[in-house]
Structure 1
Amino acid sequence: MWPGPWESWKDVPYEDKNWLFERFHCYFQWEEKWNGVIYSCWERRIAGKILYLLCRV
C-alpha cells in the first residue's frame, strides 16, 4: 500500500499523496464536486495518523 519510505506526512511527495487518495476513493464513492473538501479532510486525518500507520507496517 505504501509506495515509498517516509517518516512523516511532509516527506510524502505530492504524486504519492494523490495515489493514496485515489486508493481511498476506490473504497468510498462520492460526487466529483466534493473532491476538494473530502481531500482536505482526508489529508488532515492521515497526516495525524501516518506515524501510527507506519509503525504498524
Structure 2
Amino acid sequence: MDLKAEYISSKNADVLVMGDDWQGRFDHLNEYCKVVYLPRTPSISTTEVIEIIKETM
C-alpha cells in the first residue's frame, strides 16, 4: 500500500482502480494518476480475475 505512488510512477499508469470500500483512501494519488473507485461485485474475486488474465498472456 505504501508503495502505490512509486509503482504508479514506475509503470506510467494513467488510472488506479480500487473497490469502493476503499473510497477516499487513495485520493492523494490523484497527483500521479486518475483514481477511480468502482462498486464491489458480490462473488467476484479480484485475485481470481488477475490469475485468469495472467494465464491468457
Normalising by structure 2, we get a TM-score of 0.27
Higher helix proportion, which one? 1
TM-score scaled by length of structure 1:
0.27
Structure with the bigger RCO (C-alpha within 8 Å, sep 6+) is 1
**Structure of higher CA gyration radius:** 2
| The structure with more strand, counted as a fraction of residues | 2
